Amino acid sequence: MSDARILLVDDENSIIDILRIVLQKEGFRYIYTANDGNSAIHLCRQYSPHLIVLDVMLPDMEGFEVCRALRNFTDVPILFLTARNADLDKLVGFSMGGDDYITKPFNPLEVVARIKAQLRRLRREFAPNVKEKNVYDFGRFRLQLDSAQLIVEGKEIPCPAMEFKLLAYLCKHPNQIFSKQQLYEHVWGEESLGDDNTVMVHIRRIREKIEVNPSRPQYLITVRGLGYKMVLNK
């Protein structure tokens, strides 16, 4: 984990400094920093970080815009950092491809814990495992774990890290019903930090990718009062 490259993006140097200090104490050696959106995009292209902590309020553009630009060429986890805690802001962040949302003021140790959790899940999800099935074929779409690809009707569809992990979990357990809380705990791994909106937004974005009509899903369906399940048609 110490070899992971972390990009911190915030216009407040005090925040960057405290996060960098805590990350270094936790053994992280490769930490890059930016104070604005354009610099963040440039550094991301240059160093290909494994994870990005991204402030929403930046001097040249909103972090949401930066996230949208980053999603054109990277699917690494993006953790939004912001003083705004309205549900609408969280929904916008997730809809842009963000993977987590941390509200200021925050405990730096919590931020680092979330960073480490994201990196552990990434390594566990994509580590080679000859005993695990690597391809899940549902006809219209196919999920390839070894290459982290989502193929829909023969075309590769970009899929951010947390959406891919959630989709992979559901594909591994077809025809099983999971509540929002269960999905959050299994995929995000933070029982006390989740909320319904996080799972709902990611479910909606997955449906937009794999369903013919996302409003009338045939694969990722809602079981009223119980949760969601991925339908594997025999």
- Which one-letter DSSP state was computed for residue 188? I
* Per-residue model confidence (pLDDT) at position 197: 82
Q: Clarify whether residues 141 and 95 are in a common domain.
A: no
Q: Clarify whether residues 16 and 60 are in a common domain.
A: yes
Distance CA 51, CA 162 (A): 12
Q: Clarify whether residues 114 and 152 are in a common domain.
A: no
Residue 99, domain extent: 5-126
Q: Clarify whether residues 110 and 78 are in a common domain.
A: yes
Q: Among 126, 149, 175, where does a domain finish?
A: 126
Average pLDDT of every residue of the chain: 86
Q: Clarify whether residues 173 and 215 are in a common domain.
A: yes
CATH number of the domain residue 104 falls in: 3.40.50.2300
Encode pLDDT of 110-162 as tens digits. Answer: 899 989 988 887 776 655 443 456 889 998 999 999 888 999 998 999 999 89
Cα distances from 182 to residues 29, 122, 132, 189, in angstroms, run 34, 19, 22, 9
Average pLDDT over residues 203-216: 95
Burial call 89-113: b when 16+ CB within 10 Å, e when fewer:
bbbbbbebbbbbbbeeebeeeebbe
On the question of pLDDT at 234 being above 60, the answer is no
- pLDDT above 70 covers a percentage of the chain that reads 87
Distance CA 70, CA 207 (A): 22
The number of distinct structural domains making up the chain is 2
CATH number of the domain residue 213 falls in: 1.10.10.10
Q: Clarify whether residues 48 and 155 are in a common domain.
A: no
User: Among 14-18, 57-61, 160-164, 179-183, which is the least confidently predicted range?
Assistant: 179-183
On the question of pLDDT at 53 being above 90, the answer is yes
Per-residue pLDDT band at 189 (split at 50, 70, 90)? confident
Q: Clarify whether residues 64 and 83 are in a common domain.
A: yes
Average pLDDT over residues 18-46: 93
Q: Clarify whether residues 38 and 114 are in a common domain.
A: yes
Helix (H, G, I), strand (E, B) or coil at 81: strand
* Per-residue model confidence (pLDDT) at position 99: 85
Q: Among 126, 158, 192, where does a domain finish?
A: 126
